[in-house]
Amino acid sequence: MESQTWQIVLTFSLMSTESICKRLFRILMTATYAIEGFIPFCSHQIWYRIIKPKREEFGKLPLLCLHGGPGVPHDYLEPLEAVAETGRSVIFYDQLGCGNSDRPNDPNLYSIDLFKKELVTVRKALNLEQIHLFGQSWGGCLALEHALSQATGLVSLILASTPASVQQFATEAYGLMNDLPAEVQQIIRKHEAEGTTQSPEYKKAMELFNYSFLCRLDPWPSCLTKAYSKVGTEFRGIGKIIDWNIENRLFEIVAPTLLLSGFYDEVTPACVGIVNKGISGSQWVLFENSSHMPHLEETERFLQVLDEFLHSVEENKD
C-alpha cells in the first residue's frame, strides 16, 4: 500500500497543475452511483435501477432503457450503464413477470397494453418528464407504442434491433436457418413441428442459431447469461405478440430516431429497413461485426454512436 501511495504522489508531482486538474475533472465526471427500488403497479412491484453521475451535466437528459424478450430482464443491457459516465442518468427496470420484479403467474394479466401502462407508471413514479427512450428488440416495439400513444417529453427514440412487424421478423428469422447445417435445420424444424422444444436435442441445435444470430461472442458475456437465468415464463417469446404490426403508422413518429442493428442480426436488415423508410429523418447505423447484441459485440463503437446521437439531439433541441 505504501509503495502504491508513493507511485500516485510521484505521478502527480511530475504533472503540470493543468494536467492534474484535467485528470481530477475526468475522474470526477466519470464517477457514478446506483439507486435501486420498487414501484407499485397493478398490486405488484416493479424493480428499477438508476445509474447517476456524481455530477450531472446541465442539459443532459436521462436515458430510459427498455429490455427485450419479451421476458428477458435488464441485465444484458449492463454496458449502457457507462452512458452515465458522460454526465446523464441511465434508468433500467425489469418488466412485470421477469427479473427482479414480481412474477404473477396469471397468463391473462399480460398484454402489450399492460406494458404500455407499466412504462407510463415508471415514468411518472421517477419523475421522468423529459427523456431519451432506448428500446432493444421487443423493448423497441414497446418504445414505438409509447411514442404512438402521443406521450409527452419524448426527446428522442433509440431503437436497437427493432422490427415494425413481428410476423415479418419471425419469417426473416426462420429464413436464417437456411444458413445453418442441414442436419441442424432438420432438428429444429422437427421439434417445432412436434411441439417438443424442451428437448435437449432441440436446445443444442438452437445454441448454434443463437451463437450465429443472437450474440456471436463465445463465451457469452456474464450479463447476458445472467439475464437468461432470470427470464419470465408467462409473457415470453414472440408467440404472445405475433400479430403486432405498426408498419402503417411509422410515419406518425416525429421524435428524432436512431436505429441500431447488426449485420448478422436475427432482426434482419430487411426488417430494420422498413422502420428506417417509415420514420422520416431516422438515422440507421449497421454494425458489421454484430448480430442481435451490438451493444455487447461492438460495445465501444455502440456507445460512441449512441453518445454522439444524444449530444446532437440535445444540441439542436429547441
Q: What are 21-44's pLDDT values in tens digits? A: 555 455 555 699 999 999 999 999
One domain, residues 98 and 224: yes
For the stretch 113-157, pLDDT in tens is 999 999 999 999 999 999 999 999 999 999 999 999 999 999 999
pLDDT higher than 50, residue 4? no
One domain, residues 242 and 300: yes
Three cell numbers, residue 156: 428522442
**Catalytic annotation, residues:** 137, 265, 292
Judge contact between 87 and 52, C-beta under 8 A: no
One domain, residues 83 and 15: no
**Which positions ≥6 away from 289 have C-beta within 8 Å?**
216, 262, 263, 297, 298
For the stretch 203-240, pLDDT in tens is 899 899 999 999 999 999 999 999 999 999 888 777 78
One domain, residues 13 and 140: no
One domain, residues 13 and 124: no
Neighbours of 13 (CB within 10 A): 8
One domain, residues 125 and 103: yes
Return phi, psi of residue 66, to 5°: -110, 120
| Residues recorded for the chain | 318
One domain, residues 251 and 175: yes
pLDDT higher than 60, residue 14? no
One domain, residues 214 and 304: yes
User: If residue 258 lies in a helix (H) or strand (E), which one and from where to where?
Assistant: strand 257-262
Beta bridge partners of 249: none
One domain, residues 226 and 263: yes
Distance CA 216, CA 291 (A): 7
Name the pairing type of β-strands 44-53 and 32-41. antiparallel
Which residues constitute the domain of residue 104?
A: 34-315
Number of domains in the chain: 2
Strand order in the sheet with 90-93: 32-41, 44-53, 90-93, 63-66, 131-136, 154-160, 257-262, 283-287
- The average pLDDT across 188-198 equals 82
Q: What is the CATH number of the domain that holds 132?
A: 3.40.50.1820
One domain, residues 22 and 38: no
Give the CA radius of gyration of the chain. 21
pLDDT of residue 50: 98
Nearest to 89 by CA among 132, 57, 36, 52: 52
The verdict on pTM exceeding 0.85 is: yes
CA dihedral 82, 87, 88, 89 (to 10 degrees): 70
